[in-house]
Amino acid sequence: MRADEEGADRCDDVHMAFSELSLPWRARGHSNPRGGLLLCHGFTGSPQSMRPWAEDHAARGWAVELPLLPGHGTTEDDLAGTTWQDWYECVREAALDLSEDHGPIAVGGLSMGGALTLALAADSDLQGRIAAVVAVNPGMTLPAAAGVAGLIAPVVRTLPGIGSDIALPGAAEEAYGRMPVRAVAQLHRLFRRTRRELGAVQVPLLLATSSVDHTVPPSDSDIVAAGVRGSVERLAMPHSYHLAPLDHDAQLLFDSSARFLARHVPSPGGR
């Protein structure tokens, strides 16, 4: 097995403002891969927050795609110039490409990435291409003020950042120090649209939720569980904050994800 850790050529226009860990990452070198797995990072973050998950599943034989979302991993001004459609089309294109090679794939996401994975599972054009979803602390709501973020953006350009909500001492997320208000308005639209479409999600879902989360309220996971139509398996992460793939419960998450995907994603050789 060879994991290609060079920057992927999709969904990115990367300037090295962040470390190499924040570049897009893929593992496509397996001679007989277990299946395809697309992972999606969160708002203002980067692939760095998902690399441990990606590397863990690559070592288990999965062909992993971990793109960098448009506007992320560069500058806050870049993020301010993007829309939720830009973020969604990035992961949608990656899902289409991965499923072309591996048949029905798994998708996993953290925070806003969790919302994006649920949106993929609800997309009628991707029916039959998504076999299972793993959503970690998926975002579904924002404070009421986010609804007017687009109106105040010309006056208030940025807000304090939300990165590095991690209980593990010494762990940190590579993320923007501030959030562009224009991008917050786009995030609000993404969450609102994804909530409306939850009933179209019929594939099995592993829903992992931190007991204490200072970024996304744990009740957002309850909204997801109540809204989707497919089977839901809940995973409690009692020792982690929002960035669970970098926190105390990371291995619990990875092992649970691997068992869940083994049950629900068909082997490419068995299609």
Residue 246 CA, chain-centre distance (Å), reads 14
User: CB count, 10 Å around CB of 177?
Assistant: 10
In the set 72, 242, 248, 264, the catalytic residue is 242
In the set 12, 56, 213, 220, the catalytic residue is 213
In the set 99, 111, 210, 257, the catalytic residue is 111
Please indicate whether residue 56 is annotated as part of the active site.
no
Alpha helices in the chain (DSSP H): 51-59, 76-80, 84-102, 112-122, 149-152, 181-196, 219-227, 250-264
Please indicate whether residue 213 is annotated as part of the active site.
yes
Which residue is it, tokens 């959030």?
Answer: 179
Please indicate whether residue 242 is annotated as part of the active site.
yes
* Cβ burial 74-111 (10 Å sphere, 16+ → b, else e): bebebbbebbbeebbebbbebbeebbeebbbbbbbbbb
Encoded tokens for 120: 């993929």
Which residue is it, tokens 């054009």?
Answer: 125
Return d(Cα 248, Cα 271) in angstroms, integer.
Answer: 37
Residues labelled as active-site residues: 111, 213, 242
